[in-house]
Amino acid sequence: MSSPRTQTYAQRAAKNPNAAARALLEVIERKKSNLCVSVDVTKRDEFLNIIDTVGPYVCLIKTHVDIIEDFDLSVIEYLKELSAKHDFLIFEDRKFADIGNTVALQYSGGVHKIASWSHITNAHPVPGPSIITGLASVGKPLGRGLLLLAEMSTKGSLATGAYTEEAVRMARAHRDFVFGFIAQRRMDGVGATDTDDVADEDFLILTPGVGLDSRGDAMGQQYRTPKEVVTESGCDVIIVGRGIYGKGGSVDVQAVQAQAERYRKEGWAAYLERIGQAPS
């Protein structure tokens, strides 16, 4: 059987056991977009304005709700409306990293009530498998999905080698809830032993650190192009923040639209090249 690397998103959607992964793969195929925009701005109006502007071009919107200064739950109501209007999923990039009991409380409650609206969230594997059990106790009954941070895009990241392999093994043991990784390359079969059944393994790879005009920032971020990320490294979703809306501030709707379409096109062309299809 061919590997996920050369299959279409639709083929992979048809056999993925995780509801959140299936929904993501289906929206990618429907909209011909493997672009996730990361909306890292601090004012609610700008946050919602950017999302409404890039909505038609994305499969997924990634949030850091804890950076919004004038946050209240109406932001979430608008976000959910925009998700329905433009047909995208929501990914709160919360990077949970605590004991099971604490992450369950952080995920379900507090001001942000993340589990009630975010289809996808993520966690550092550093505490061990109990972080998955804790988050699954909240997220699984709601049909949510979890990504583990197997690698990071930053210079000098410690998430490499044995740590990354262990992250993949943790995910393999919890495939009902963990459907993929934040990583810089495909993880198929990583860290597997002879007794592991990895033939049907299809972990989705969502990849930050993507930019067409810059190779990094002054704070350790490193950028690669959609072609490097999707065609060469086999990743499935490109995550782009400032490459689309610049420094933030007032939103130049036409410029943001143009950038979103540029990244969508590049990401999709890189995928078609990977699966050996000519762009139509």
Catalytic residue set: 95
Which one of 42-50, 74-82, 98-106, 149-157 is the stretch in contact with ligand 5BU (CB under 6 A)? Answer: 149-157
Query: Which three-class secondary structure state does DSSP give residue 38?
Result: strand
Q: Please, which residue, 58 or 240, has the CB nearer to ligand 5BU?
A: 240
Q: Please, which residue, 224 or 242, has the CB nearer to ligand 5BU?
A: 242
153 binds ligand 5BU (CB under 6 A): yes
- Interaction residues for ligand 5BU, span 92-131 (CB under 6 A): 93
91: closest CA among 67, 122, 47?
122
- Interaction residues for ligand 5BU, span 172-201 (CB under 6 A): 182
Helix axes 130-139, 100-108, angle to 10 degrees: 30
Which one of residues 152, 167, 171, 256 is an interface residue with ligand 5BU (CB under 6 A)?
152
- Shortest Cβ 124–ligand 5BU spacing (Å): 9
As a whole number of angstroms, the distance between CA 66 and CA 76 comes to 12
C-alpha distances (whole Å) from 141 to each of 89, 231, 248 are: 18, 35, 37
C-alpha distances (whole Å) from 72 to each of 65, 77, 160 are: 10, 10, 37
Q: Any idea what DSSP says for residue 186?
A: -
40 binds ligand 5BU (CB under 6 A): yes
Which one of 18-26, 66-74, 241-249, 250-258 is the stretch in contact with ligand 5BU (CB under 6 A)? Answer: 241-249
Please give the residue whose beta carbon sits closest to ligand 5BU in the complex.
241
Which one of 134-142, 187-195, 236-244, 265-273 is the stretch in contact with ligand 5BU (CB under 6 A)? Answer: 236-244
C-alpha distances (whole Å) from 252 to each of 48, 49, 259 are: 13, 10, 11
Tell me the sheet residues that pair with 222: 216
Written as six digits, the tokens of 83 are: 């998700």
205 binds ligand 5BU (CB under 6 A): no
As a whole number of angstroms, the distance between CA 224 and CA 154 comes to 12
- Shortest Cβ 140–ligand 5BU spacing (Å): 22
Under a CB-based contact definition with an 8 Å cutoff, are residues 89 and 83 in contact? yes
Which one of residues 51, 239, 256, 270 is an interface residue with ligand 5BU (CB under 6 A)?
239
User: Contact positions toward ligand 5BU, by CB under 6 A?
Assistant: 38, 40, 64, 93, 149, 152-154, 182, 208-209, 221, 239-243
